[in-house]
């Protein structure tokens, strides 16, 4: 991939991640799910694989209902070709318990971005897990 194409891909991923974080902060699971291709797959930790945008929306809605209030995404590596990119990153998730206590959870993630028919990048595969406490 040329340097120019990679820079364009990086800008698109950064913009999509910004929209993801803003939608998450608003508690807007539908807008988060809209960043995925229709047949996307999510692989959350210690849970079954979720397929399709509607199920991914349900996944995020459930996490938000369980106290997830905000997320910060940090891209550590981005590579690929013009139509498919893979991103390795770190996310910090803010969680507010029922008792009002706020905690943060740090996870690592791998996502695959695919060019959608409209020409932009969308999430096709999303997998994450937590860092070991020990």
48-72 pLDDT, tens digit per residue, is: 999 999 999 999 999 999 999 999 9
Q: Identify the CA nearest to 86 among candidates 94, 75, 95, 96.
A: 75
Domain boundaries, given as residue ranges, for the chain = 3-130
As a whole number, mean pLDDT of residues 75-88 equals 93
Residue 5 has pLDDT above 80, yes or no: no
Please report which confidence band the pLDDT of residue 117 belongs to, taking 50, 70 and 90 as the band edges: confident
Residue 133 has pLDDT above 70, yes or no: no
Is 3-130 assigned to CATH 3.10.450.50? yes
Query: Tell me, what's the pLDDT at 19?
Result: 97
Query: Tell me, what's the pLDDT at 63?
Result: 95
Query: Tell me, what's the pLDDT at 110?
Result: 98
Q: Identify the CA nearest to 38 among candidates 117, 128, 127.
A: 117
Q: Is 27 exposed, middle or buried (0-12, 13-18, 19+ CB in 10 A)?
A: middle
């Amino acid at each position: 991939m040329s340097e120019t194409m990679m820079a364009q891909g990086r800008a698109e991923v950064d913009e999509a991640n910004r929209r993801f974080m803003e939608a998450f902060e608003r508690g807007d699971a539908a807008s988060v799910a809209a960043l995925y291709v229709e047949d996307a797959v999510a692989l959350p930790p210690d849970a079954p694989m979720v397929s399709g945008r509607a199920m991914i929306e349900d996944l995020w809605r459930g996490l938000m209902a369980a106290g997830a209030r905000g997320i910060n995404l940090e891209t550590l590596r981005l590579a690929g070709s013009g139509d498919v990119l893979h991103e390795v990153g770190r996310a910090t998730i803010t969680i507010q318990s029922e008792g009002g206590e706020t905690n943060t959870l740090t996870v690592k993630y791998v996502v695959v971005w695919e060019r959608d028919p409209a020409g932009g990048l969308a999430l096709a595969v999303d997998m994450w897990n937590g860092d070991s406490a020990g």
